[in-house]
Amino acid sequence: MADMERHSYDVVVIGAGGAGLRAAIEAHAQGARTAIVCKSLLGKAHTVMAEGGIAAAMGNVWSEDNWRVHFRDTMRGGKMLNNWRMAQLHAQEAPDRVWELEEWGALFDRTKDGLISQRDFGGHRYARLAHVGDRTGLEMIRTLQQHAVSLGIDVFMECTITRLLKGGNQISGAFGYWRESGRFICFTAPAVILATGGIGKSYKVTSNSWEYTGDGHALALHAGAALLNMEFVQFHPTGMVWPLSVKGLLVTESVRGDGGVLRNSEGKRFMFDYIPAFFAKETADNEAEADRWYDDKAGNRRPPELLPRDEVARAINSEVKAGRGSPHGGVFLDIASRRSAEYIRKRLPSMYHQFKELADVDITAEPMEIGPTCHYVMGGVEVDPDTEMSGVQGLYAAGEVAGGMHGANRLGGNSLSDLLVFGRRAGLAAAQYATKLGTDRPSVADHDVVTASRAALAPFEEEGGENPYTVQMELQETMNSLVGIIRTADEMTQALAKITELKERIRHLTVEGHRQYNPGWHLALDISNMLRVSECVARAALERQESRGGHTRDDFPTAEPEWGKVNVVLREVDDEITVSRQPLLVIPADLAELLAEQPEEKKS
Amino acid sequence: MAYDAHFRVWRGDVEGGGLVDFTVPVNEGEVVLDVLHRIQATQAGDLAVRWNCKAGKCGSCSAEINGRPRLLCMTRMNLFAESDVVTLTPLRAFPVIRDLVTNVSFNYEKAKQLPAFAPKPREADGTYRMAQVDVERGQEFRKCIECFLCQNVCHVIRDHEANKEVFAGPRFFIRYAELDMHPLDTNDRKRMAQEQAGLGMCNITKCCTEVCPEGIHITDNAIIPMKERVVDTKYDPLVWLGNKIFRRNGIERPSAEG
C-alpha cells in the first residue's frame, strides 16, 4: 500500500449536496483543513433537483409567522416523533441560513417590498418557502458551490468512499477510489462528516438519482453508529407516471402550493374525503373555503391538497386502488383550469418544460397524471442534535443521511433548510473537535487499508458470477412491491428473505472490463450498501406495529400512543443487524405547549 | 411500439477507440439514456456514461447524438425513425476519459479563476431589497445547469487548444453577465470579462445559444450586451469624461481580487 495516494485533513466531508457544501464552508471558516469528496462532478448532487423552496420563518409574506409556528408545523407533520431539539434548532436558525445564501449571491424571487418572497407548501401554516421559481435546489447548490470554490476548498470529484477507518472508537480517516482511474485513495482525518443523502435507489419508482444508494447509512452502521426511524420512507404524492421512462420523476409540491388540485377519474376533488382527525381543525372541508385560503389565511383553513405528504400519498393510493385512477395508474393534478397560462409558466417553468419535453403534455392546458414516488428517508444516523456527532467519536452526519429531525414524515421545504442548518452545525462541531484533538489523532492502520482494498477488488476476481445490474433490479422490484407505501408483516417477511438471498448472491458478482470509469464495478460496490439499508428499512418496518407518517401497516392501520414514545434503533453487530426500541426525548414544557391543536400565536 | 433500435456507441479511451454496434429494444416514451442503460444492464456492463438526475436538471449526461451536442436524458427516442442508426460520441472539445465520459476539468479550472461575488452592505434595516424585475435578469443565467454543451460547440475552445489558456467560454460569460447585472455585486465584471476571460475573442456565431438545453439567450442577452458595455466604458470618451467627473455605478472601485 506504499504507493497509494494519501491525503491528510482536519475534516473530510463526504458528499457535495447542500449539507456537504455547507458543512465544508463552515469547517473551512473555522480554520480547519477541509476536503470535500463526492461521487459525481461538483454541482450535480441530488440537491440540484429540489424544486419548491427552503422553509424558513422569515415572516416576509405573513408577519404572523415565527420559529414557534414553524417548530409546531414540523413536529405535527412528523407525527411528534421528531427529535424536538433538532426541530427547534432548525426552526430558529433557518432564516439566518437563507439570508446568508443571499450574501453569497443567491437571487431569490422577491416580494413587492423587495424582500425574499415566500410560497405556500403542504403542512406549513403560512407561506414560508424562499424560492426561485421551481428550481430552488439549483440556486442553492450553485450558490454554495460557487462560494466553496471561491474559498479554495479542496474538492475530490468523482471519488467514492467505500470504508470509514477507525482507531479505537475514533474516526481516523476514510478509504475510497477514483471513479475515473479506479485507483485507491486514503484520507487521514480525525473528523468525517457524512452528507451522502438518501436511499431511494433501492426502490424501482423513485425521484432519486443513481447516487442515492445509502452509502452514508451503511458506512455509519459499519463503523458502529446507530440508525433510527428507518421505517419512515417518504413517498412524494406527485411523481410522473407516464411515460414509463420517467415514472417517479418529481412533480413539485409547488403545483399545489400555487393553486393546483387533485382530481380522480370522475373529476372529483377527492382530498376532502381524506382529512384525518389529527388535522381536521386546520383543514378546509369545502372547496369554497379552500379556494379562499390562498388570499386570506386568517379567515380560512388550508386546502386538503396541502396536507402533509404522507396523507396525500395514501389518499392517491386509495383512489387508484378503488378504480378511480387515471389511464396510466395515477390521478390528475390540475392547475390548468385554476390559474392562467402566464402564471403557470412564470411560477413553474421547470414543470412546464419537463412535461412538454418528456410527456408531450402542456400543463397550462391539461391536467398532469401523477402518482406517489419514493422520495426521501426520514430515518438515518442517530446524532447529537447540537453537534451532529454520531455515537462514533469524530463521525458526523448532516442532511438526509441523519435521522431524527423529521420524525415520521418530513414537510416539503424542510429538507433544504435542514441541509443548511445542520450542515453548518456539523462543520462547526467537526472543526472544533479536530482542533481539540490537536496532534493527538488516531492513526490509520495499514491492515484496515489492505482489507478495504481487497474488498473493493473482489468483483474482478470471479468469473461467471452474478451481473450486478440484475441484482439491483431484483432489489428495486422487491422494495417497491413489498416494502412500499402500504405494508404487511407477510410481505415484509418475504422481502427480508429475498434480501438474504440477494446478500448471498452478491458474494459472487462478476464485472467485465477494467478499473477505469467502469459503472458495472461501481454498482457492484454500491449494491452492498443498498442491500444493507433495504434490510434496515424492512426490519424496522416489521418492528413498528402501527401506522404513522411514512410508515403505513395494513395489518396495524392506526397510530398507537405507545409507539409514539419510541424510536426503532438499528445497529450492526458482528455483521448482523440488531433491532431495539429506544424512548424518545421528553419535550420541555414550554415547547410542548406550542404543539396544541390551536396554539396561541406568540411573537418571537 | 416496442422495437429494436440500432445504436452505434463510441467506445475507447485516451489511447483510441471506435464505434461499436448494439441492437437494443426500445419502449414507448423512452429517451436515449434509457436505451444506454439497457445496453449497460444487458450487453456492456462497463459502458461509461455520466448521468445523475435523468430530468434535464443536473447537466451530467452531455454527449453528441448523431453529431449534435445534446443531453442524453432529454433526447426522446421518437425523435428518430425506427430504422435510423443512432450514433453516440463523446463531447469533442474535451479529452476523452472513457467511452462517453470526457474530462471537463477545464470548466472547473475556469470557475476557480472567476473573482468571487462581492456584495454591497445590507440596508439600514438589515435586509437586502431588490426588485423582482432586477433579479430576473440575472436569474435567466442562473438557470444554467453546467452541461457544458455551449463550451463544447464554441469554436474558440473547440478548434484551438491554445485558446483554452486565455478564454473562459460562454458558460462563464453568462456568469460574468449575471454578476454584472446582480443588484448587489460590486466588482467591475465588464473589465474582468474582457481582460481575464477573453470576451473579445468571441465572434458571436451563436452556436452556444443554439445548443443550450435551458434556452438561455447566451449571445443576445449576455455576450453582446457585455461586449457593448465593455466598449462603452473602455473607449467612449464621453463615458471616460463622465467617470472623471461623476462616479459611475459599478466601476468606481477597482476590484481588490481582480
Please give the Cα distance from A124 to B119 (Å, whole number): 32
The Cα A77–Cα A81 span in angstroms is 9
Interface ipTM above 0.85: yes
Q: For A205-217, how does the pLDDT look when each residue is reduced to its tens digit (9 = 90+)?
A: 999 999 999 999 9
Q: Do A107 and B127 touch (CB under 8 A)?
A: no
Based on the number of CB atoms within 10 Å of its own CB, is B99 exposed (0-12), middle (13-18) or buried (19 or more)? buried
Q: Does A329 touch chain B (CB under 8 A)?
A: no
pLDDT at B252: 39
Chain A contact set for B56 (CB, 8 A): 353-354, 357-358
Chain A residues in contact with B144 by the CB 8 A cut-off are 142
Contact of A585 with chain B, judged by CB distance below 8 Å, is answered with no
Name the residues of A annotated as catalytic.
Answer: 236, 256
* pLDDT tens by residue, A153-179: 999 999 999 999 999 999 999 999 999
Residue A167 touches partner B, C-beta closer than 8 Å: no
Residue A297 pLDDT > 60: yes
Q: Which helix (H) or strand (E) holds B63?
A: strand B62-65
Indicate which of A41, A241, A251, A527 best probes the interface with B, i.e. most B CBs within 10 Å of its own CB.
A41
What is the tens place of the pLDDT at every residue in B169-195?
A: 999 999 999 999 999 999 988 888 888
**Model-level pTM?**
0.94
d(CA A340, CA A362): 13
CB < 8 Å to B129, chain A: 113-115
Cell numbers that stand for B162 in this block: 491554445
Binned at pLDDT 50, 70 and 90, residue B246 comes out as: low
Interval A29-73: pLDDT, tens: 999 999 999 999 999 999 999 989 999 999 999 999 999 999 999
B:213-232 residues touching chain A, CB 8 A cutoff: none
* Of residues A209, A470, A517, nearest to B53 (C-beta): A209
Asked if the model's pLDDT at residue B254 lies above 90, the reply is no
* Confidence check: pLDDT of A308 > 50: yes
Calculate the CA dihedral of residues A51, A53, A55, A59 and round it to 10 degrees. Answer: -160
A244/B contact by beta carbon, under 8 A: yes
Closest to B175 (Cα-Cα) out of A191, A596, A528, A146 = A146
Using a pLDDT cut of 70, give the percent of chain A over it.
Answer: 98
pLDDT at B234: 61
| Mean pLDDT, range A529-535, rounded to an integer | 98
From CA A141, how far away is CA A38, in angstroms rounded?
14
What is the per-residue pLDDT for B239?
55
Question: What pLDDT score does B256 carry?
Answer: 37
Distance in Å, alpha carbon of B198 to nearest chain A alpha carbon: 20
Q: What is the overall mean pLDDT for chain A?
A: 96
Distance CA A209, CA B68 (A): 25
